[in-house]
Amino acid sequence: MSHRIEVEKGVSLFVEDIGEGQPVIFIHGWPVNHRMFEYQINEIVNLGYRFIGIDLRGYGQSDKPWSGYDYNRKADDVKAVIDQLGLENAVLAGFSMGGPVALRYMARHQQHGITKLMLLAPAAPRFTKTDDFPYGIEAKEIDGMIESIQKDRPAFLEEFGGMFFHQEQSDAFKHWFGTLGLQASAHGTIHSAEALRDEDGRGDLEHVTVPVLLLHGTNDEICPIDFSEYLQSHLKDAQLVKFEESGHGLVFEETEKLNAEILQFLRT
């Protein structure tokens, strides 16, 4: 089953809704969509959980307005989906950019409806370096990425996809993965990159009191594992599982281990 959920006047999100039982809400990373989780859907649904996959505004099959790509608005969009589907006792999972969006949701909406949080290779608490946050990349590197997107978005996505993985992927897989990024709007991709460059989610962490599972590849070249180590030390109840054979794309590179860790967390 799928839904179109209006999150503000004139803007609707596409939401995949499969299975029954406790809801597990997945928020994808930049610049793809919920279909990146296809290797988690079967496992979760087969074991009695309800998969909720959200295409954020600007991505996948959701509407692509010009504005609304800051973390506050994206968190409000998630709230609208949760409310309109009547989701309770849910687990919220955020991958990469979806990580800081999930954390902002927890802080901004008082963890409404959420009993557990999973962060997969999160781009959190912030993506770029500052004087008091030494992890991540320089803000000017995001500016270079935006310039590349404006010049040749397909070429940029192909290059970015190459950074995504530690293990070699088939040509067919790389083509499929690239199509996920091309389904996004150019302006949504750029405005989300600006949010990744500028947003700071460190203030969100003190508001998270539910159990948190952190899953992160040790060879991640996009979101260094320093991010999850920082989160583990600043969240009240967080466990970190490292994936030694993965880069940023741990959901594809160590799928069996990742799914097992997710299911163990769901059952506890």
List the structure tokens of 102.
């999930």
The one-letter amino acid at 215: L
264: CB partners within 8 A, 6+ apart: none
- CA atoms of 43 and 33, how far apart (whole Å): 19
Catalytic residue among 17, 63, 204, 220: 220
Q: What angle do the packed helices 139-164 and 186-198 form, to 10 degrees?
A: 120
Active site residue 220: yes
Q: Which candidate, 35, 27, 31, places its Cα nearest to that of 145?
A: 31
Counting every residue written for the chain, the total comes to 268
Distance CA 245, CA 166 (A): 7
Given the residues 28, 34, 216, 248, the one annotated as active site: 248
CA angle 76/125/101 to nearest 5° reads: 20
124 — alpha (psi -120 to 50), left (phi > 0) or beta? beta
Examine the residue annotation and report whether 191 is marked as an active-site residue of this protein.
no
Closest among 84, 102, 50 to 207, alpha carbons compared: 102
CA nearest 84: which of 166, 194, 18, 6?
6
Instruction: Please count the other Cβ atoms lying within 10 Å of the Cβ belonging to residue 245.
Output: 13
Active-site residue, 96 included: yes
Annotate 164-205 with DSSP letters as a single string: H-SS---HHHHHHHHHHHHTS-HHHHHHHHHHHHH---GGGG
Marked catalytic residue, from 62, 96, 228, 246? 96
- What positions carry a catalytic annotation? 96, 220, 248
